[in-house]
C-alpha cells in the first residue's frame, strides 16, 4: 500500500508522549517531517525529536504552544513552516482530562478542558485550512477523539467526555464544509490505550475493563498511530467525515 507521505510536513499537537509520540514516530517512519508540539515538558519533546532523528533521519523540530492560546498557535505554525516548510497534515491530539464527579468540578476546570480539547482543535484547523485554501492546496486533518464521546465514563471525566463528543461533531461539520477543496477531516476514537493518562486507573481496575473489551486487551499507542497515519495518507483519499472506532470491539456498528 502506497501512503505517499515522504517529505510531507505533519504537525502533531501534544506530540511528546503517549499516543502523540507514537504518531510522531509513525509518520517519521514513513518519511514525513514532523513538528512535535508540547506545552510543558520540553525535555520529553526533545527526546521525541532525538528519537526521530536517530531512528529515521527525518526532519523534525519541537515547538512549544498552549493550544488554547490563539497567539501561541499562530506563532507555532509560523515557526514550524519556517523550519520545515508548509504543513500538509494536522493531527489534533493535545488533550486535558480532569477526573472527578460532576459536583467536584469548577467552571474553570470545565472551561480549561474545552479550551484545550476543542478551542485548540478549532484554532489549529482554522489556520491551516486558511493557508490551504489560499493556495488551492489539499490537506488532511485527523482528530484524536475518544470512545468517551459515545459511552461516557463511569470513573468521572464528564468535561473530557463532553469535549470529545464535540470533537466528533466538529470533525463531521468541518469535513462537509471543506470537502470540495479536497481537504479531508477524519477522527480516531480510541478506547483504552496504554498511556500515562490511564496507567493508574488501568492497574486498579484491570479485570473490570477487560471484561468490557471483546479483544480482551488494552491498545498500544502504536496501534492508534497506524490508524492516524492511514487516515492522513493518500491510501484514505476517499474517506472524510469518518470517525474510526479503535476500541477492541467495545463499540461495534
Residues taking part in catalysis: 160
Q: Which of 6, 30, 8 is nearest to 85 (CA)?
A: 8
Task: Give the count of beta carbons closer than 10 Å to the beta carbon of residue 96.
Answer: 20
d(CA 229, CA 59): 17
**Angle subtended at Cα 80 by Cα 12 and Cα 76, rounded to the nearest 5 degrees:** 75
Task: Give the count of beta carbons closer than 10 Å to the beta carbon of residue 86.
Answer: 15
Question: What are 28's three cell numbers?
Answer: 517519521
Q: Helix count (H) and strand count (E) of the chain? A: 10, 7
Residue 195 near residue 21 (C-beta atoms within 8 A): no
Amino acid at each position: 500500500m502506497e501512503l505517499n507521505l515522504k517529505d510531507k510536513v505533519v504537525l502533531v499537537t501534544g506530540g511528546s508522549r503517549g499516543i502523540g509520540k507514537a504518531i510522531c514516530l509513525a509518520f517519521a517512519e514513513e518519511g514525513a517531517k514532523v513538528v512535535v508540539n508540547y506545552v510543558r515538558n520540553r525535555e520529553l519533546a526533545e527526546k521525541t525529536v532525538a528519537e526521530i532523528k536517530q531512528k529515521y533521519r527525518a526532519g523534525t523540530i519541537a515547538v512549544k504552544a498552549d493550544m488554547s492560546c490563539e497567539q501561541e498557535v499562530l506563532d507555532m505554525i509560523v515557526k514550524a513552516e519556517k523550519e520545515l516548510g508548509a504543513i500538509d497534515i494536522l493531527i489534533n491530539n493535545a488533550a486535558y482530562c480532569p477526573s472527578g464527579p460532576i459536583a467536584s468540578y469548577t467552571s474553570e476546570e470545565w472551561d480549561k478542558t474545552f479550551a484545550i480539547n476543542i478551542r485548540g482543535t478549532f484554532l489549529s484547523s482554522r489556520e491551516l485550512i486558511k493557508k490551504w485554501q489560499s493556495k488551492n492546496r489539499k490537506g488532511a486533518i485527523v482528530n484524536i477523539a475518544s470512545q468517551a464521546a459515545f459511552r461516557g465514563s463511569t470513573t468521572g471525566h464528564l468535561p473530557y467526555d463532553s469535549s470529545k463528543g464535540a470533537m466528533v461533531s466538529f470533525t463531521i461539520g468541518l469535513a462537509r464544509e471543506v470537502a470540495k477543496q479536497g481537504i479531508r477531516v477524519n477522527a480516531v476514537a480510541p478506547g483504552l490505550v496504554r498511556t500515562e493518562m490511564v496507567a493508574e486507573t488501568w492497574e486498579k481496575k484491570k479485570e473490570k475493563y477487560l471484561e468490557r473489551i471483546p479483544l480482551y486487551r488494552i491498545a498500544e499507542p502504536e496501534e492508534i498511530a497506524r490508524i492516524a497515519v492511514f487516515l492522513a495518507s493518500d491510501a484514505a483519499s476517499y474517506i472524510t467525515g469518518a470517525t474510526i472506532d479503535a476500541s477492541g470491539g467495545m463499540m461495534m456498528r
